[in-house]
Amino acid sequence: MLKSIHRSSLLSAIVFVGCGVGLAGAESASQPEITDPHFQLAPGYLAKKDLPDSLVLLGPPPADSSAALARDEEFRAATIPLRGTPRWDLARADADLQFPQPAKNFSCAMGVDINEEKTPHLYRLMQKVLTDAGLSTYGVKNTYNRTRPFVVHNEGTCYPDQEPLLRTDGSYPSGHTAAGWAWALVLSEINPERADVLMKRGMEFGQSRVICDAHWQSDVDAGRIMGAATVAKLHNNAEFISDVAAAREELKTAGAVEASSCMAEEAALSAR
C-alpha cells in the first residue's frame, strides 16, 4: 500500500524530483490516491516491475568537458533571451504538474477543454500517465544525481517555489519531459486529427524545462525516451486501453476549446 508522506516529499513526487518517497514503492494501479490538503497524485496504470527501466535504456549524463555538455550549454545560452517573455510565462505554466494545470496546458493542442467534469476519462488518464512516466525516470535520476543548470550557473528558475527541492535532486533525465511526451503520444492516439499539433506541444513542453533553466537539453532528450518507453508499456495494460477507448468517446460530445483562450499560448510558442 502507498504510504502517507509529508508535504515536501509529496511535492517532490509532483515535480518528479528526489527519491520518489512513497510513490517509488507503488506496486499496482489499484492503490488509493496519495493525498494531503495541498496535493493529489493518482496511482499509475503500471506496477513498479512493469515500468521501463531507465538504467537499461539510458546511458550516463554528459561528462565534464565533453562535446555533449558543450551542446547542453549552447542550448541553455540560446534560451536566455526568452527569460521574462511570454514564452517564459508558458514555461512556468508547464512547470506546474498539479492538476488541473496540465490538462489546461494540453487543451488548446487537443482542441477541447480537458477538465474533470466534461472529459473525466481523459482527465483521469492524464493523471495516471503522469505518474507512470515520472516514475520511469527514477533509476537513472537517483543513480547519477546530476546538478541542474540553474545551480551550476547560480541563477533562478521560472518557478522559485520548486528550487529548494530541485537544488538537491537529479536533473537527468527530465521527469516533466517524460510526462509531457507521454501525454503528447497518448493524446495523439486518442485524437489523431490533432496529432501534429499535440506532438509539437509535447516537444515544447519538454523545451520549457530548458527555458526554465531547470534542466539541460540532454535531460530533456532522455526524458522523451522514457516517455515513449512508458507509452509502449502502457499498450500492454488493459485498463489503459479501456480508458483510451472511453476518452475517444468523450471527444464526440466534448465542446471545442474557445479559440480566444488559446491566442496567448499560440503567440508565446511562435515568438522565438
Strand partners, 232: none
| Peptide bond preceding 60 in cis form (omega within 30 of 0) | no
Region 172-177 average pLDDT: 98
Tell me the pLDDT band of 40, cut-offs 50, 70 and 90.
low
Per residue in 47-78, pLDDT tens? 999 999 999 999 999 999 999 999 999 999 99
Q: How far apart are CA 265 and CA 108, in angstroms?
A: 8
E strands within 139-254?
none
Which residues are identified as catalytic? 176, 209, 215, 219
Q: What are the φ/ψ torsions at residue 15 (nearest 5 degrees)?
A: -90, 5
**From 17-31, 34-48, 132-146, 223-237, the region with the lowest mean pLDDT:** 17-31
Residue 28: the pLDDT is: 38
- What are the chain's domains? 44-270 (1.20.144.10)
Predicted model pTM:
0.88
Tell me the pLDDT band of 272, cut-offs 50, 70 and 90.
low
Per residue in 126-166, pLDDT tens? 999 999 999 999 999 999 999 999 999 999 999 999 999 99
E strands within the chain?
34-35, 40-41
Q: How far apart are CA 15 and CA 186, in angstroms?
A: 20
Tell me the pLDDT band of 168, cut-offs 50, 70 and 90.
confident
Of the candidates 32, 33, 41, the residue with the CA atom closest to the CA atom of residue 11: 41
| Peptide bond preceding 43 in cis form (omega within 30 of 0) | no
Is it the case that residue 1 has pLDDT exceeding 70? no
Strand partners, 112: 256
Q: How far is CA 100 from the centre of its chain?
A: 13
Bigger pLDDT: 271 or 134?
134
* Cβ proximity of 56 and 140 under 8 Å: no
Q: What are the φ/ψ torsions at residue 70 (nearest 5 degrees)?
A: -60, -40
Residue 222: the pLDDT is: 98
* Cβ proximity of 226 and 180 under 8 Å: no
Residue 214: the pLDDT is: 98
Grid coordinates representing 44 are: 499509475
Residue 235 is which amino acid? H
Residue 10: the pLDDT is: 36
Cα distances (angstroms) measured from residue 31 to each of 11, 21, 25, 139, 179: 19, 15, 11, 22, 20
